[in-house]
Structure 1
């Protein structure tokens, strides 16, 4: 059981951060980021408790660590699974749960915080072709993301969901600490997955501009997209389709777990 939980744990961290990990590098997705969770403007607080659309069952297992003390057991489990060297290479060692929650919440926004990524940067540089009016995103740029997509595809969606439910109280606390005192993180997660599933495809070369340090999409319509939708354009149509397939699996498991929780509560 412990080994299953460890596999699910790495799946959770990589799955929940699958989009965010790719946003670190220079490119049209990244803009001047907020410095921390408190800088993300929360929605208006409702006078009454909002309806929960996707409630999760309460996991009856061993006690969880507090959110503040969760990094050590999470890093230890990851070290047992993929090795300490890999953990140091791919995982940011502080505030893992909070980083995931902030990143998931920011994916549908126009700005995402590079400082709060749960994972380390994608290797290699953002690739372009041409100059001036012919500056475009290189098709070779998508190769930087292939290893992450392959890893995501190997994640068992059922184990991922079970692990997520197990650790859900920590994610819920981090979400409310972010500025949503009456929010339910699982509802936000499902909404973000739906948002990513609606990401457009590119019909040809994506033209760019570089007014300053970072690149921008030359097409104003593309530049106005959310950080998550820009990411899906950057990874390329093939990688995006593979990511969406895994997201549909995860969403299905989340909905299944939610329906079971609703049935038991009646």
Structure 2
């Protein structure tokens, strides 16, 4: 066996390292005894049993676990902005004749208003009647009120014909019903239906005009109606009665119609018209 082979075997067996170490220790003891200069007879050395010490396998070293890096704390997401609550859409205005009539009757203290009002096309009739009235004309086909049940009456005296007071009384029920409606309530109702009224007015009137102004013009024309003393003389031309006094007959058709309601009724109607005008001009 070569030296190389020997070195290779030693390196391969751990027990060889222990035997070599024991042999070196024995040799050193022998040398120490021989060269100590002792005069006594040397005693043969007893073999010394050297225990074989095996080093325990090193305990595995447990490396401390690395301290985890603190997680990055992100700021909380901003709370989402609440979506705006949409405002409820206003309910459409009921412009049917039944609804308009019910609304008007609801304002009056006298339920007889329902009996006097027509049943169809109320808003259009109002617009057309007002526009004609502002033009000092009478829209006979667009009346808002039904004609009185009693007929126009006259009486004869001294060979002349005079308007009978019963002819004025035919309108008392209408006037009292209108007077029972507060002007403020009437204007509030007018504002409710004003968008529809403006649409109708745009169809029949001057689009550059404001209906409020036309309404004031119509009211002013009625307020300009003169008050005349009674009894009032009339005559007939076989078709209709006319005023005997030319200054009265020359008045416009709306003004003459207002005169036919009688002096007392006309004063009540004028007072209501002045209240409405004052509110419109505020």
Judge same fold: TM > 0.5, yes or no: yes
Q: CA deviation at 1:111?
A: 4.4
**Which protein has greater RCO, CA pairs closer than 8 Å, 6+ apart?**
1
Please, which of 179, 194, 199 is the counterpart of residue 168 of structure 1? 194
CA shift at 1:108, angstroms?
A: 5.0
Query: Which structure dedicates a bigger proportion of its chain to helix?
Result: 1
Residue 212 (structure 1) aligned to one of 238, 243, 246: 238
Q: Quick check: 1:209–1:217 contact (8 Å CA) kept in 2?
A: yes
8 Å CA contact 2:236–2:242 kept in 1: the answer is yes
Q: CA deviation at 1:138?
A: 1.4
Q: Which residue of 1 aligns with 2:266?
A: 240
Correspondence 1:22-37 to 2 at 5 A: none
Q: 1:221 to 1:87 in 2, by over 3 A?
A: closer
Aligned residue pairs: how many?
A: 192
Task: Report the secondary structure of 1:209's partner residue.
Answer: strand
Cα separation, partners in 2 of 1:204 and 1:86, compared to 1, 3 Å: closer
Alignment of 1:87-166 (within 5 A): 89-109=115-135, 111-130=137-156, 134-166=160-192
- 1:213 deviation in Å? 2.2
Residues 75-111 of structure 1: per-residue CA shift (max 9 Å, x gap): 45568789xx968743322211111111122235564
CA contact (8 A) 1:128 1:136 kept: yes
- Distance apart, 1:240 and its partner CA: 0.9
TM score, norm. by length of structure 1: 0.63
Taking the aligned partners of 1:132 and 1:111, their CA distance within structure 2 comes to: 34
Note the aligned Cα RMSD (angstroms).
Answer: 2.8
> How far 1:157 sits from its partner (Å)?
1.0
Q: Is the 8 A contact 2:101 2:114 kept in 1?
A: no
Distance in structure 2 (CA, Å) of the matches to 1:122 and 1:61: 40
Question: Does 1:221 pair with 2:247?
Answer: yes
1:178 to 1:212, Cα distance in 2 relative to 1, 3 A: farther
1:180 aligns with 2:209: no
2:20 corresponding residue in structure 1: none
The TM-score normalised by the length of structure 2 is 0.60
Q: Considering only CA atoms, is the larger Rg found in Structure 1 or Structure 2?
A: 2
Residues 182 and 132 (structure 1 numbering): CA distance in 2 closer, same or farther, change over 3 Å? farther
- Corresponding residue to 1:63 among 92, 107, 113: 92
Task: Please give the alpha-carbon distance, in whole angstroms, between the structure 1 residues aligned to 2:206 and 2:222.
Answer: 22
Q: Residues 61 and 246 (structure 1 numbering): CA distance in 2 closer, same or farther, change over 3 Å?
A: farther
Residues in 2 aligned to 1:79 and 1:198: alpha-carbon distance in whole angstroms: 29
1:172-214 Cα deviation digits (max 9, x unpaired): 1222212322221110111111121121011232221211322
